[in-house]
Amino acid sequence: DVQEFKSSFKLLISQGLRASTQIVGSAVSLYCISPSLATLASLVIPSIIAGGTVFGSVLRKLSRQAQAQLSTSTGIAYEAISNIRTTRAFGAETKEHEMFQNEVNKACELNIRLGIGIGVFQGLNNLVMNGIVLSTIALGGQFVSQQRLSAGDLMAFLVATQTIQRSLTQISVLIGQAIRGMSAGARIHEYQKLTSSIPLEQGIRIPFHSMLGQVQFSNVGFAYPTREQQMVLENFNFTIPCGKTVALVGPSGSGKSTLCSLLVRFYDPINGQITIDGKDIRKFNATWLRSNVIGMINQEPTLFSTTIMENIRFGKPDATDAEVMEAAKLAMAHDFIQLFPDGYRTVVGERGVTVSGGQRQRIAM
Ligand SMILES: Nc1ncnc2c1ncn2[C@@H]1O[C@H](COP(=O)(O)OP(=O)(O)O)[C@@H](O)[C@H]1O
Ligand SMILES: [Mg+2]
């Protein structure tokens, strides 16, 4: 979208500017040559432009649909290919292929309609423009024979109308480009408008060594923003006294992981409050809370495409190699890491060697 927007913008500025100045300049000279002919032209041309604008808005809508459909189909291909093992394991190649084919066909149909629309638009445009030249010659010829216009002026008038015609044709092509550019721009703008609902930089910190670590949930109510009608927690109260180790046990989907997400403020509760040492966690600096107070290991941890050493250092960038190894020993990762031919320098993650699910969790710890 950014690329599309950029090239449309460039074209519009360079060619659009030239075409529109040519139109203005030629229109002025038309008036100087023959006001009556020019008045006629000025009545016809605006109505053509109005027609073009209406047609253009229909095309713009179609273009937006076609773009959206195209990204749906690429999404399916991306999913099937990036999860190729699952696709293979279920023998789902044909099914995925058909699904992709289906979506591509829809995109194809929309793009054909768009192509036909743009073709009709440009064809009509040419027809009208050439019609203008023909009627100028016919009408102007009459004026010449009545000696209201010299032959030279008629020629000059024709050249000026042709310049206008050429510029208008160019503009009609540019309108197609502008339509695509504007729908790309609208999508970019949607992302730019997004703001973080939980600011990262503001808020207080508890001074080092004076935190006790008493966690309390009081009357907490929460529903995920994407599923507002399902309350995951309602009037939830619970306390973790400082220094205690607590495990939460419950059926799948009962809200255990949600509690952790609330504690690190991936979300804020809808009702009630969560406090640490009696202070509402909404008052804390979110970055400090996440990086200094709460350590969190996801159920499905992600490793970055770099060495194991750097992955472990992710939580404390200034840790020495010895500290990293010490941490690995505590997480019972040191032994298997040493067995890798490259040891701690093994590159893991998406673009490196994959490790087992359990090994990944230990590296994350
Ligand atoms: N990102 C999410 N968006 C919407 N609903 C979610 C999301 N994550 C979890 N849920 C729902 O919230 C409920 C609690 O989920 P969770 O806390 O992950 O359960 P668990 O106790 O198994 O960790 C479930 O019903 C789940 O479907
Ligand atoms: Mg869970």
CA distance 173 to 179: 10
Q: How far is the CA of 298 from the centre of ligand 2 (A)?
A: 9
- The residue with greater pLDDT, 197 or 92, is 92
- Is 70 exceeded by the pLDDT of residue 316? yes
Q: What is the pLDDT of residue 33?
A: 87
Token pair listed for 227: 């599923």
SS3 content of the chain, % helix, strand, coil (to 5): 65, 10, 25
CA distance 214 to 175: 63
Q: Which atom of ligand 1 is nearest to the CA of 248?
A: 21
- For residue 178, give the nearest of 48, 56, 20 by alpha carbon: 56
Element (H, E) at 219: strand 215-222
CATH topology of domain 215-293: Rossmann fold (3.40.50)
Residue minimizing CA distance to atom 23 of ligand 1? 257
- Is 90 exceeded by the pLDDT of residue 222? yes
Ligand 1 neighbour 262 (Cβ under 6 A): no
Tell me the pLDDT of the chain averaged across its residues.
90
Contact 307, 325 (CB under 8 A): no
Residue minimizing CA distance to atom 18 of ligand 1? 257
Contact 210, 242 (CB under 8 A): no
Class for domain 2-193, per CATH? mainly alpha
List, for residues 54-94, the tens digit of each pLDDT value. Answer: 888 898 889 989 999 999 999 999 999 999 999 999 999 99
- The residue with greater pLDDT, 203 or 119, is 119
The helix/strand/coil state of 188 is helix
Average pLDDT over every residue of 23-51? 84
Q: What is the pLDDT of residue 321?
A: 94
Q: What is the pLDDT of residue 297?
A: 87
| Candidate of 220, 258, 263 to mutate for ligand 1, largest count of ligand atoms within 8 Å of Cβ | 258
Q: What is the pLDDT of residue 308?
A: 94
Closest ligand (CA of 248): 1
Domain 2-193 and domain 215-293, same fold? Reply is no
| Candidate of 226, 232, 238 to mutate for ligand 1, largest count of ligand atoms within 8 Å of Cβ | 232
Contact 324, 307 (CB under 8 A): no
Q: Residue 235: is it exposed, middle or buried by C-beta count within 10 angstroms (0-12/13-18/19+)?
A: exposed
Element (H, E) at 271: strand 271-276
Q: How far is the CA of 59 from the centre of ligand 2 (A)?
A: 47
| Domain spans of the chain, in order of start | 2-193, 215-293, 308-364
Contact 181, 9 (CB under 8 A): yes
Contact 307, 344 (CB under 8 A): yes
Q: What is the pLDDT of residue 206?
A: 85
Strands laid side by side in the 279-280 sheet: 233-240, 215-222, 271-276, 279-280
- Is 90 exceeded by the pLDDT of residue 236? yes
70-84, 94-108, 176-190, 259-273: the lowest-pLDDT one: 176-190
CA–CA distance from 183 to each of 111, 112, 162, 187 (Å)? 15, 18, 32, 6
Confidence tier at 208 by pLDDT (50, 70, 90) = confident
Q: How far is the CA of 108 from the centre of ligand 1 (A)?
A: 38
Q: What is the pLDDT of residue 164?
A: 84
Average pLDDT over every residue of 252-259? 93
- Is 80 exceeded by the pLDDT of residue 349? no
Q: What is the pLDDT of residue 210?
A: 86
Confidence tier at 351 by pLDDT (50, 70, 90) = low
- The residue with greater pLDDT, 197 or 275, is 275
- Is 90 exceeded by the pLDDT of residue 126? no
- Is 80 exceeded by the pLDDT of residue 291? yes
Q: What is the pLDDT of residue 37?
A: 81
Q: What is the pLDDT of residue 46?
A: 73
Q: How far is the CA of 256 from the centre of ligand 1 (A)?
A: 8
